[in-house]
Amino acid sequence: MNRIHKLHGSNHHEIGLEHGSLHVFANDEVFGTFEDRVYEMADNNLRIPRSVYMSYTPDAHIGIGTCIGTTAVWGLKDGFVSPSIVGVDIGCGMRVHTTPLHKRDIQDKGVRRALIRAIEKYVPTNERKNSNYEDIDVMEVVQHGLQGLPERYVPGERWLTHVEQASFAFDPAALEYLPPNIRKNAHGQLGTLGSGNHFCEIQYLEIAEEHKDTAAAWGLFDGQVVVMIHSGSRAWGAMLGREYTQVIRGAMQSWGVTNPDPNVIYAPIGSTEGRTYLNLMNSALNFAVSNRHMIAFGVQEAFREVFGPQMELPVLYDLMHNYALKEFHRNQGMLVHRKGATRALPPKHYMNTPAYMATGHPALIPGSMGTSSYIMVGRDEGIKNFYSICHGAGRLRSRRATKQAVTVDQFEQSLKVGTEDEILVNHRSLAAILDECPQAYKDVDQIIDSVVGAGLADVVAKCRPMAAIKGL
């Protein structure tokens, strides 16, 4: 494939492809790792008519139909929506809760093991085990998000205000397009992690000196223990993603629309199929933000079991990285798709939640298992990428390739097994989660360097892992 390469300042590459331009935000080391296939996938996505913009963040890697790490934009008046550029785990995202604890308070391995056991008690980690929140009406949550939860599960107003969005409005008539068993499959999954790269991690903070004022405004301090959560919409989003993708694929066939990649699915925003998908997507966003909320509720219960009933875990922030949202850019309404990309707004941007209008909101970027994660804040220059940054380290090897290339001994060394600083995990056998080892992912420090060097966001705090809870 012929490619024209232009450089627009530090870490900002523009790649001219047959069907349009792709912007790539990566330093030289990361940029050199991109393979031809990621550009082929971008060109297939750019075949969707009237594209306004498309980019890759440095963690971009091959996905189904669209690379994870993609931002793609269309105008609301004549644009398109693509389930392929949203992803199957609709609304998957990050959440961080702070604690009053210092690293030294949980340095003892016995304390951390007690926390792991308590968290597993309140947050099911087995795919076949449901949560015990029988008094939560799944349909209330699907239709109203956090506002559909019973009051007893909302510890305080902050749990509703310090989130990217607490509720996503949609026409409930769209739910008629879903199979009847979706409600049964989703029942009991609120407050569960799921498998794969989803996790709950206990970390401590290292505050960046140049942004200590922002950290203080957010209530963060050096050595502070925090909890980071990564999960999504579970069965609800997965099922509607699969089911309604088939509807749009059938519509494309009836319209005579084709793409070299059959996994690239899209419809005009104003079509019946496009409108229905956006409504259904919002139902999954409601489920996803509520799922992370209930995981956090369980984690707070676990901390109270270990440290006493007075223990509070305030929300720092909750945000998503798989969705298509209506936003206002360049003096017009646009539909911004982010698949494995995080919105990072600067101070005083109108889309900030009121709690973070003055400072910009925390942008939560996980590393890989055993490596650092980051809390960042967007910069004004981020407008050049529609305020999108990375969503994590980005996968380097497939799960199968990782198991072939990495040994359990190497994984143990990454987790500092046997040392005082060992990163404890909830699995007796590391072989069971070998495909989630750090060697399966890109170097998160290089990913963050790419984002900072491109002027998209700055680091406020580095999050060092102390214990990890993974699903199976």
Residue with structure tokens 């996505």? 45
394 is in an annotated binding site: yes
392 is in an annotated binding site: yes
201 is in an annotated binding site: yes
470 is in an annotated binding site: yes
Tokens coding 336 = 């911004």
5 is in an annotated binding site: no
Positions annotated as catalytic residues are 391
Phi first, then psi, for residue 193 (nearest 5°) are -70, -45
369 is in an annotated binding site: yes
Strand partners, 299: none
321 is in an annotated binding site: yes
199 is in an annotated binding site: yes
Pairing type for strands 315-320 and 93-102 reads antiparallel
427 is in an annotated binding site: no
Phi first, then psi, for residue 74 (nearest 5°) are -130, 155
176 is in an annotated binding site: no
281 is in an annotated binding site: no
198 is in an annotated binding site: yes
HEC letters along the chain = CCCEEEECCCCEEEEEECCEEEEEECCHHHHCCCCHHHHHHHHHHHCCCCEEEEEEEEEEECCCCCCEEEEEEEECCCCEECHHHCCCCCCCEEEEEEEEEEHHHHCCHHHHHHHHHHHHHHCCCCCCCCCCCCCCCHHHHHHHHHHHCCHHHCCCCHHHHCCCCCCCCCCHHHHHHCCCHHHHHHCCCCCCCCCCCCEEEEEEEEECHHHHHHHHHCCCCCCEEEEEEEECCHHHHHHHHHHHHHHHHHHHHHHCCCCCCCCCCCEECCCHHHHHHHHHHHHHHHHHHHHHHHHHHHHHHHHHHHHCCCCCCCEEEEEECEEEEEEEECCEEEEEEEECCEECCCCCCCCCCHHHCCCCCCEEECCCCCCCEEEEEECHHHHHHCCEECCCCCECCCHHHHHHHCCHHHHHHHCCCCCCCCCEECCCCHHHHHHHCHHHECCHHHHHHHHHHCCCEEEEEEEEEEEEEECC
Q: What b/e readout covers 276-302, taking b as 16+ CB neighbours within 10 angstroms?
A: bbbbbbbbbbbbbbbbbbbbbbbbbbb
200 is in an annotated binding site: yes
368 is in an annotated binding site: yes
Alpha carbon separation from 307 to 101, 111, 144 (Å, rounded): 10, 10, 33
Residue stretches of the annotated binding site for Mn(2+): 89, 198, 230, 321
Residue stretches of the annotated binding site for GMP: 197-201, 321-322, 366-369, 373, 391-394, 470
Residue stretches of the annotated binding site: 89, 197-201, 230, 321-322, 366-369, 373, 391-394, 470
